[in-house]
Amino acid sequence: MAGAGWKVWRKLRIIKSVTFQSSRFYSSDWNIRHGLVGMVGRTPLVRLNKVSDETGCEILAKAEFANGGGSVKDRAAYFLIREAQKSGELKPGGTVVEGTAGNTGIGLAHLCLAMGYKCVIYMPNTQSHEKIELLQTLGADVRPVPAVAWSDPNNYNHQAKRFAESLDNAVWTNQFDNTANRLAHIETTGPEIWQQTDGKVSAVTFGTGTGGTLAGVGTYLKEKNKDIQVVLADPQGSVLYNWFKHGKLERSEGNSITEGIGQGRVTSNLEGAPIDDAMCITDKEAVEYTFRLLHEEGFFVGASSGLNVAAAVRVAKSMGPGHTIVTALCDTGQRYYAKLFSRKFLDDKGVLQYIPEPYRISLHD
Ligand SMILES: Cc1ncc(COP(=O)(O)O)c(C=O)c1O
């Protein structure tokens, strides 16, 4: 009996070891990431099955919520710090100061903890308590200031700049106009997309906040193949659609519920970006796709991801079957739970009706 048991055990071991070695999870690509910094970039590229099957295109998304700090902005945050280290502006134990209401601040706060810096975040005082509390939990010194326009010297970005200048060993990272942000995507996101698709990418489309993602990925991919189409996806109420189509910094109609994207000016990161086309994506499309991603594909993401996928579907339909379109799932829906998953909020914004009835099960009051 003992002999038979041993044989069964050995057989199971062999099966287990073959399964283990051939498992995709433990493939040769699988390696050790060095700390949180090692978790910036190299995100999975995911085939969105439902929309790919519907359009006859491969619609692929970089799973940016898988970055260590949970969003696409971790890439920019790391490069902004890295450039400040390289230039000598930031020395060990120094302070990183930024004006941000969202993901860049969260990325910077995570990285400051991992890299031994202090983090100070200026933000408009209109921001939710959840964001302030999250940043404080991440060790940041959060300074809510009155929400005034860019042209006002008391705008949160200008205050961040002045505060950094008043300290020794501190840097204002300036995500909008510091092109280290775009460089992050030239050096990481673009090459990853090229490698992960084996160069078979027909178009990319991204919503733009600072413009770093679109400009950086576009710049890298155009160098590889100038025929790759770079499409700017602009939320309603932003100026970039009219800027690209008509050369005017005029807002499109409405005020978007998406966060982190949309612009009122052309930032240094966006300047000179190789853009082939632009489209304005309404909130009703962004919200519809945010909930479709959740219920049809299983991805719990924010509205900028819904907008990105809505844009990718439009690009796929205009190019026709057989193309490969790449976009991004920027962050998780958890960051927007209070608003984006509130029945009342969506109803007040007039977009509740665009969420298919069975998917409204995900809403709270
Ligand atoms: C949720 C989200 N999506 C997309 C973006 C756009 O990225 P970029 O600033 O590179 O244009 C941002 C930027 O803050 C964001 O927070």
Segment 192-231, tens digit of pLDDT: 999 999 999 999 999 999 999 999 999 999 999 999 999 9
Q: Which of 136, 153, 175 is the last residue of a domain?
A: 175
Q: Is 73 in the pocket of ligand 1 (CB under 6 A)?
A: yes
Nearest atom within ligand 1 for CA of residue 175? 9
Task: Indicate whether 346 belongs to any domain.
Answer: yes
User: How many Å lie between the centroid of ligand 1 and the Cα of residue 198?
Assistant: 26
333 in ligand 1 pocket by Cβ < 6 Å?
A: no
Domain finish residue from 175, 199, 218: 175
| 30 confidence band (pLDDT: 50, 70, 90) | low
pLDDT tens digit sequence for 141-166: 999 999 898 889 999 999 999 999 99
Closest of 271, 273, 272 to residue 215, by C-alpha = 273
If asked whether residues 210 and 338 sit together in one domain, one would say yes
User: If you measure from the C-alpha of residue 249 to the centroid of ligand 1, how many angstroms do you get, rounded to a whole number?
Assistant: 20
Distance 209 CA to ligand 1 centre (A): 5
Q: Are residues 168 and 83 in the same domain?
A: yes
Hey, what are 223's tokens? 């160098």
Q: Please state, rounded to an integer, the average pLDDT across all residues of the chain.
A: 92
Give whole-number Cα distances, 317 to 58, 245, 283, 313, in Å.
11, 20, 19, 6
Quick check: is 50 catalytic?
Answer: no
Question: In this structure, is residue 362 part of a structural domain?
Answer: no
Q: Which atom of ligand 1 is nearest to the CA of 303?
A: 1
Q: Are 283 and 273 in contact, with CB atoms under 8 Å apart?
A: no
Distance from C-alpha of 206 to C-alpha of 270, rounded to nearest angstrom: 12
| pLDDT tens profile 235-247 | 999 999 999 999 9
CATH of the domain at 121: 3.40.50.1100
Does a structural domain hold residue 37? no
80 domain residue, yes or no: yes
SS3 content of the chain, % helix, strand, coil (to 5): 50, 15, 35
Residues 6+ apart with CB under 8 A from 135: 105, 106, 109, 121, 142
Residue 42 has pLDDT above 90, yes or no: yes
| Same domain flag for 94 and 199 | no
The answer as to whether 9 is a domain residue is no
Residue 40 has pLDDT above 60, yes or no: yes
**Is the minimum distance from the CB of 261 to ligand 1 under 6 angstroms?**
yes
In which element (H, E) is residue 170 found? strand 170-172
Domain with 219 in it: 45-66+189-353
CA of 133 to the centre of ligand 1 (A): 21
Same domain, 205 and 273: yes
| Calpha distance 365→349 (Å, rounded) | 14
- Count of the separate structural domains present in the chain: 2
Show Cβ contacts of residue 195 under 8 Å, excluding neighbours closer than 6 positions.
none
Q: With a 6 A CB cut-off, is 330 part of the ligand 1 pocket?
A: yes
Is the distance from the beta carbon of residue 103 to the nearest atom of ligand 1 less than 6 Å? yes
Q: At residue 186, does pLDDT exceed 70?
A: yes
CA 2 to ligand 1 center in whole angstroms: 62
Q: Is residue 228, in this structure, part of any structural domain at all? A: yes
Catalytic one of 7, 11, 50, 73 = 73
The last residue of a domain, from among 175, 201, 224: 175
- Both 317 and 294 in one domain: the answer is yes
| Residue 142 within a domain | yes
pLDDT digit string, tens, across residues 240-275 = 999 999 999 999 999 999 999 999 999 999 999 999
Whether residue 240 sits in one domain with residue 345 = yes
Say if residue 24's pLDDT is above 80. no
Nearest CA to ligand 1 atom 14: 260
For residues 289 and 206, state if they share a domain. yes
Question: Residues 237, 280: one domain?
Answer: yes
Q: Are residues 56 and 103 in the same domain?
A: no
pTM for this entry: 0.91
One domain, residues 62 and 78? no
Q: Is the CB of 216 under 6 A from ligand 1?
A: no
| Pairwise CA distance, residues 315 & 5, whole Å | 59
Task: At 180, list the tokens.
Answer: 């280290």
What percent of the chain is modeled with pLDDT above 70? 92
Residue-wise pLDDT for 46-78, tens only, equals 999 999 999 999 999 999 999 999 999 999 999
Q: Does 58 contact ligand 1 (Cβ within 6 A)?
A: no
Query: What Cα–Cα distance (Å) separates residue 246 from each residue in 82, 135, 243, 266, 278?
Result: 37, 39, 6, 14, 11
